[in-house]
Amino acid sequence: MADVSILGAGPAGAWAAYSLARRGARVALVDPTHPREKPCGGGVTGRALALVAGAFDIAALPACVIRTARFIDASSRAGAVVDLAAAGLTPATSLVVASRTSFDGLLLAAARDAGAEIVAARVTDLVARPGGFLIHTTSGSHTAACIVGADGANSLVRRRLARPFRRDQLSIATGYFAHGVTGDEIVVELVDDPPGYMWSFPRPTHLAAGICAQADTGVTARTLRARVRDWIHEQGLAPGARLEPYSWPIPSLAPRDFDALEVSGPRWCLAGDAAGLVDPITREGIFFALLSGEWAAEALASDDADPWRRYRERVRDEIGSELARAARFKASFFRPRFTRLMVEALQQSAGVRAVMADLVAGRQSYAQLKWRLARTFEVGLAWRLFARARRRA
């Protein structure tokens, strides 16, 4: 019997397994899919890289270091380029973009080397019983004293032990991998319908381009993907490239959902996407998957009488509160009035560009965002933008 069975070997599960195995726990990490690509931008922020830096040589990760971020306001077609190096970011603190085959593969190898047992099977069911769980998989059944559900947005653990995400708590992300094209610039077009952005992220052998919309808006993945295809052509991002379509759900919670996160119970906890820990504005999920995986391991390996409660409180207090702030901010973030103003401010102010660079690299908290923007925003620039907005109105 394993002390801990971890279901799902994405960043949350592999990192929880690594962190637990290094603390001497007997860990089984169950996932049938590796090596595999995951439909994802593959943007790994400096703060995410810092978490895993001790586990493997970051230089061994085939990745594109992003040097510039181009922002386009869909309503005015105006654009601005943010030079991340000029804003003070180094390759170690900036954003890198990697294929998830490579990134998740390195994490899995680190977990294996640390002593976790890798079980290449799909979990088909799990049953709570005295002292633990009976876990049924496609390669047989085993027991575990406790489980970590790191099995993504469609989490079986979540469905069995908590409750599945409602449709309004999910968004659908869809787009294309454009093969044979790469670079060192991300392109982000801010749109208000659906509120969010279209993106193009260069990986070593292809671009990942996509769009995201709340699942309950009624718009289909097909319609969204057609829009991405038009955008790729219109922006000249990948002339002649073979386009491979993808679609995948992302948890996209509202402020009230973050305030009431249900991420653990006796002998079980959820981490990463299964717990709903994705930034509703940037859709950054890899960092929160790694962090929650690490915190799950820390709680389980502690001598706390109730590690499940300790984990739940930490996630709610430190991640939930920050993501709730992002979710509240989101309502105004993608309005044309704001995005137009933001792109104009990016064109004109090095201070605002530095704030945006830090947002891209995951170094800017939402708690401090308004305050920092207010401090950065020069009075003259604010006045010019305000006057222009009034003239337009």
Q: Which residues bind ligand FAD (CB under 6 A)?
A: 7-13, 30-31, 33, 38-43, 122-123, 150-152, 156, 173, 210, 248, 250, 272-274, 278, 283-287, 289
- Nearest approach in angstroms of CB 16 to ligand FAD is 9
CA pair distance 200, 186, nearest whole angstrom:
6
Closest separation between CB of residue 381 and ligand FAD, Å?
Answer: 30
Smallest distance from ligand FAD to CB 356, Å:
16
Letter string b/e over residues 337-368, b meaning 16 or more CB atoms within 10 A of that residue's CB = eebbbbbbbbebbebbbbbbbbbbbbbbebee
What type of residue is 208? A
Asked if 298 and 148 count as a contact pair (C-beta separation under 8 A), the reply is no
- Give the shortest CB-387-to-ligand FAD separation in angstroms: 37
Strand 63-65 and strand 27-30: the pairing is unpaired
Residue nearest to ligand FAD (CB): 285
> In terms of CB distance, is 38 or 384 closer to ligand FAD?
38
CB of 264 to ligand FAD, least distance (A): 15
Which is nearer to ligand FAD, 255 or 272 (by Cβ)? 272
Asked if residue 35 has a cis previous peptide bond (ω within 30° of 0), the answer is yes
Joined tokens for residue 35:
């090596």
SS3 4: strand
Q: Which amino acid is at 81?
A: V
Q: Shortest Cβ distance from residue 203 to ligand FAD (Å)? A: 10
- For ligand FAD, the closer of residues 17 and 74 by Cβ is 17
Main-chain dihedrals φ then ψ at residue 386, nearest 5 degrees: -65, -45
State the Cα–Cα distance between residues 224 and 326, nearest whole angstrom: 24
Nearest residue (CB) to ligand FAD, 110 versus 286: 286
3-state secondary structure of 6: strand
